[in-house]
Amino acid sequence: MLGIVNSDTRMNMLYQQLKHKMDCILLDDFTPLKVRFDAIVLPMSGWKDDENMTIRGVEVKCPIEFFSMLKDDGVLIIGNMTKKLKELTFKKIDLNEYERFIKANSKLTAEGVLFLLLDNTDSGLLDLQVDLIGYGKSGQAIYEILKRLGVQVRVIRRKVNEETNEFISVEKYQELKPAPIIINTSLTNIIDDSMIKKMDENLIINLVRSSSFNEILLRQRRCRIVHAGPLPAMFSPKSAARVLEETLLEIL
């Protein structure tokens, strides 16, 4: 038996697709049921350190008793391995260890970034100048789709083998003026106060939930920041559910 926490539209669609293939229950709240699950799929944001978990788009306190529904040899399926989840003694499967899931999710994230660019700018894509901070899986997918569309994009990485106009190191970047649009995919906070002081009416699209910025200083510089959230679930939930379904069928 599989439990699926109904955190967003993606999870609801996952349940709708899987219920015809296996025994599963959509969990609409954190009240323990008289069911013992073989596995539970948690929200992609995980069980946070303040013990909150997302249910139907809202963060709600999730009591430890919720996990009593899992069999002793049951499995937690996780998209974000938080400190709280690490403390649990159950077996855990981290979706970020599956290449299929990472690549497919990164492509959906890149498509969501395109929507945010179009929704938050008054220029065509060919007229945009973008700094992309971070070059992990999501960064690579964003870079590829932007380049294919002819967007001027500069990638900022911790290390580069050779400095070019398109790929520069963080150290070099800190000497330059940021582009009008910045897409942040880096866990390291590159956008510090010294960088913000070089900005003027910049747009920052932040894809990292743990990143923090000096938003008071950003407002003083007339900058806008968009905290993107889970783009696959927001802009392409059906595709995101299919990706998750395929990964689960591979795992379970």
Same domain, 135 and 186: yes
**Burial readout 207-236 (b: 16 or more C-beta within 10 A, e: otherwise):** bbeebebbeeebeeeebebeebebbbbbbb
Determine, yes or no, domain membership for 195.
Answer: yes
CA neighbours closer than 13 Å in the CB half-sphere of residue 102: 12
pTM of the prediction? Answer: 0.87
Q: Are residues 111 and 91 located together in one domain of the fold?
A: no
Mean pLDDT, rounded, of the chain: 94
In this structure, what are the phi and psi dihedrals at residue 182, rounded to the nearest 5 degrees?
-125, 130
Q: How far is CA 64 from CA 3, 43, 45, 73, in A?
A: 16, 15, 17, 17
* Domain that residue 73 falls in: 2-96
- Count how many domains the chain has: 2
> pLDDT value at position 64?
95
For residues 69 and 129, membership in a common domain is answered with no
CATH number of the domain where residue 179 is located: 3.40.50.720
Same domain, 176 and 199: yes
What is the dihedral angle through the alpha carbons of 102, 108, 113, 115, rounded to the nearest 10 degrees?
-170
Residues 63 and 138 in one domain: no
CA distance 184 to 208: 7
Does the residue 240 lie in any domain?
A: no
Domain match, 115 and 196 both:
yes
SS3 track for 53-75:
EEECCEEEECCHHHHHHEEEEEE
Give the three-state DSSP class for 81: coil
> How do residues 138-164 score in pLDDT, each as one tens digit?
999 999 999 999 999 999 999 888 778
The residues pairing with 225 across neighbouring beta strands, listed in sequence order, are 204
Residues 122 and 175 in one domain: yes
pLDDT digits (tens, 9 = 90+) for 217-252: 999 999 999 999 889 998 999 999 999 999 999 988
Mean of pLDDT values over 41-59: 94
Residue 1 near residue 37, CB atoms below 8 Å: yes
